[in-house]
A and B are shown apart, each in its own frame.
Chain A
Amino acid sequence: MRKLEKMKKRVMIEASVAGGIVLVAVGVLAFAMHLTSIHSDEMTVAKNALQAERVKLEDLNKQIEKTGISSQVYEEVVGRKANLNFALDRTALRSVLSQLKGRYRLSYLAMEVSPAEKFSNKELEALSIEAMQMRVKLNVSGMSDTHIYSFLQDMQQALPGLIKPVIVTLKRDRKFDMEALTQIKAGNTLPMVSGVIEFMWYGFKPPVEEPNAG
């Protein structure tokens, strides 16, 4: 009977040892899983940080790209304009028109300007400064349509901001006959062609609002 007891004891010891070994193995496994878990958390943090950096880099690259494109567009605008001021300035409008009236010997030039208004559309959402618009109507008479077209072209270049003509109507008022030729030779500004030019005047809000001289 002693052997039976011994065997029981032995099996118990074996079970204990086996349990201990298994427990140790489970512990090691738990430790390994814990390590993996910690590393997984670290990896999540690292990946998030990497993602954030990538997003930032992407934004910057977009900005660089946009700046590159913008630079091209800006060069196109600069190529078309003599005045690189983009703030809407009625004084400048008056001055430029006055100059151009003389240059193109316009017999008549009158303007109506609407109040400045804020302007926006989907494409202008990226602006960092407020865009403004005014509608300008010019009644004009000149010696020829060529004078008036040249006046219009110079005006687009010389005025600050951007000009978008929306209506141009011209009408030949009289024949180019001997009498007209005589008068022109005499230095008179004969109204041969008259018309209306309406345009939208776009630009930025001036830094300091000046009193309207017009």
Chain B
Amino acid sequence: MIQAARAARSSRPAKRGGAVPAPSATPDKPPFTLDTIKEKIQSLSSFTIGSKQFILFIGDEGAVLVLIQSGRISRRLYAPSPAPEHVHPFLELLRVNSGVPISVMLDVMDQSYVRHTFPPVSVFGIKKLVERRLDRDFSSEDIRGSMLIGRDSEGRKEWNYLLISVANSSMIQQWTETIFELPNRMLGMYLIPIEAQNFIVDLAKLCSPTPAIKAMWRLMVCHDKVSGYRQVVLKDNQLVFTRLTAATSDMAPDVMAAAIEQEILSTIEYLRRLSYNDQAGLEVFVIIADEVKPLIKNDRINATSMKCLSPFEVAEMMKLEQAALSGDRFADVVIASHFGMGTKRRLRLLPPYAQKLTVLYQSSFALKVATAVLLLGLVYAVVMEFFNAADVKININRAIRDKETATEEIAKAERSLSGLGAMQGEVLNVATLYGGVLQKRPLPLDFVKAMGKVVNDNRLVRSLDWRFESEAAAKARTPKTPAPQPEQAAQPEQAVEQFIVKVEVKLSGHGGDRKNFINLAYRLIGDMKAAFPNYEVEHDPLPGTTTNEESLKLIFDESGSDEYLEDNHAVVVLHVKGPKPALAEQPATPKDD
């Protein structure tokens, strides 16, 4: 299950072939876990757009410090060891650029890669399991990390992790102690075999954008100044094998070429144990000094394709400005430049001390972000509050102006009122009294005036009894009550008081004829109704007429006395009542035409 891949020094193969076992499921996109979020936040907190960045490429034979500035290599320095006399130029450059963060790339011999399968726990629980496994399998002194390779798509859906450890050797400790105490922020430590995956994929795309045969296997050999010959093998773009072989730079080109060919063949032998066969396709990329390039032949290797490139050619292809000069023999700077200018990071490792520092950096960043957000909110609130206050102030001024205007109008109104003089009180009182007792009330003389249009020489008013209905009701209760009715009088007046009139009209001109009298009487009644349209006009039974409810006794003789009506009896009794309530709002005067 566990297959350690500790890179071998020189031509010594790594334990069990130095293979990084390929996962059973190899998804292009790893599943989403909590680590993904954490990495995103970390990358955000260390995000430096268009700014400077240091890449420290550490190997067993020294280190290369690269300063990337605005997408190009600004400075590159080499130190054979972390000894103070060697790192002095490094420290000087770092001191000058104390605000520039550093990323450390490790290409050392003593690395372990163990593939481990974890039970299908939840995304929240897998991290603890991985941590526990790392504690158990590796020394606490090591620089450790894990990388999710994928998750089984079928069966138990187990988690496939690559557990990685780098021995924290005294050399690495010396380097890290030097770096950690610098004011520059260390973003993390990265392993060349892991991060080279991106490099190889990009290089393959550039070398053969549309390959005739798609190779399943890719092998890259590069000659690094600080470490030696680094071989990285990908299967389906996933790391499956890596080896590091020490190299001496004073070898003759043909010897170096032969050594490289031999290393490749040895690697292929290891790959055969990992199900490699010649038909699967193998692309080989060799980054080597210009003079060695033509001496490396594919005859013995028998790869599907083989590209031998100088560091300068690679830099040109990848548009890594100033990453290599035409005479450069080593790939360190090119790989470091590709890493530094890229955005993808496969695995970040942090020693405990660096973790603490990172927590503090992140705290500082979070503090700044939180303060900025809070401050923005507060500034917004303050601005809004000041606007509000200004608005209120404007409203106050407006209210004061309105008040002043109102005060002026009050003064005018008071002057107008005072201009009315002393009469004002009496005018008001008289008008109020008039409105309260007389206004819009019918009066007897109005009735008499209207009656004047009805009466004439043949219509003589014999008697008239005009009274308000309230008085009529009082009379019905007590016939003689000359004293006033205070409680009645004190009642709120109706909108229009009604009156009742009884009029006796003696008719003449009928010549004693009953029929004539009745005709005249009905004409009178009609005239009355026309004169008082808004009143109820009724009459008593006319003399000489009877209703069905009355008894009737007549003597018919030839003299026609039954049709005779005495003059004294030719009287019509009329009752007028009104005005009608429906017309109460109208003036209570009869029709006067």
Q: Which residues from chain A sit less than 8 Å from chain B, CB to CB?
A: 1-4, 7-8, 10-11, 14-15, 18, 21-22, 25-26, 28-29, 32-33, 35-36, 39-40, 42-43, 46-47, 49-50, 53-54, 56-57, 60-61, 63-64, 66-67, 69-71, 73-74, 76-77, 86, 112, 114, 117, 119-124, 126-129, 131, 133-135, 137, 145, 149, 152-153, 162, 164-172, 195, 198, 200, 202-204
Contacts and interface: CB of A to CB of B under 8 A. Distances in A.
B386 A135 contact: no
Given A120-B490, A149-B445, A169 B463 contact: yes
B121 interface: no
Contact of A86 (B382, B430, B435, B483): B430
B566 to A, nearest CB: 15
Contacts of A46: 396, 399-400, 403
8 contacts: A10-B364, A18-B370, A43-B395, A67-B417, A67-B420, A117-B486, A119-B489, A145-B464
Contacts of B420: 67
Given A46-B396, A60-B414, A133 B489 contact: yes
Contact of A54 (B356, B406, B443, B460): B406
A152 B490 contact: no
A49 B405 CA distance: 12
B417 A121 contact: no
Contacts of A120: 490
Given A14-B367, A166-B467, A67 B432 contact: no
A74 B489 contact: no
Nearest to A7: B360
B396 A39 contact: yes
Given A4-B356, A127-B433, 14 more contacts: A18-B370, A22-B374, A36-B385, A39-B392, A43-B396, A50-B406, A53-B403, A128-B428, A149-B448, A162-B437, A165-B443, A167-B468, A168-B465, A169-B466
B432 to A, nearest CB: 5
Interface string B322-365: 00000000000000000000000000000001001100110110
A122 to B, nearest CB: 5
A168 B484 contact: no
Contacts of B433: 86, 124, 127, 131, 162, 202-204
A3 to B, nearest CB: 5
Interface of B: 180-183, 353, 356-357, 360-361, 363-364, 367-368, 370-371, 374-375, 378-379, 381-382, 385-386, 388-389, 392-393, 395-396, 399-400, 402-403, 406-407, 409-410, 413-414, 416-417, 420, 424-439, 441, 443-445, 448, 460-468, 470-471, 482-484, 486, 489-493
B371 A21 contact: yes
Nearest to A149: B448
Contacts of A204: 429, 433
A169 B464 contact: yes
A7 B466 contact: no
Contact of B381 (A1, A29, A76, A172): A29
A46 B429 CA distance: 37
Contacts of B468: 166-167
A149 to B, nearest CB: 6
A74 B431 contact: yes
Contacts of B437: 124, 162, 164, 200, 202
Nearest to B381: A29
B432 A126 contact: yes
Nearest to A48: B399
B274 to A, nearest CB: 43
Contact of A53 (B410, B417, B491): B410
B431 A36 contact: no
Given A25-B375, A67-B428, A164-B437, A122 B464 contact: no
Nearest to B441: A164
Contact of B417 (A32, A63, A168, A169): A63
A156 B465 CA distance: 19
Given A29-B385, A61-B413, A114 B482 contact: yes
Nearest to B376: A25
Nearest to A124: B436
A66 B428 contact: yes
A165 B465 CA distance: 12
Contacts of A166: 467-468, 470-471
Given A11-B364, A60-B417, A135-B483, A165 B493 contact: no
Nearest to A39: B392
A11 B367 contact: yes
Contacts of B360: 4, 7-8, 10-11
A168 B467 contact: yes
A117 B82 CA distance: 125
Nearest to B353: A4
A161 B542 CA distance: 43
Given A4-B357, A133-B484, A168-B444, A126 B428 contact: yes
B454 to A, nearest CB: 14
A213 to B, nearest CB: 20
B393 A145 contact: no
B444 to A, nearest CB: 4
B385 A32 contact: yes
B464 A170 contact: yes
The list of the 4 closest CB pairs from A to B, nearest first, reads A70-B431, A32-B385, A135-B484, A123-B436
Contact of B466 (A18, A119, A121, A167): A167
Contacts of B429: 86, 127-129, 204
A121 B490 contact: yes
A166 B484 CA distance: 11
B403 A49 contact: yes
B283 to A, nearest CB: 44
Contacts of B353: 1, 4
Contacts of B492: 121-123
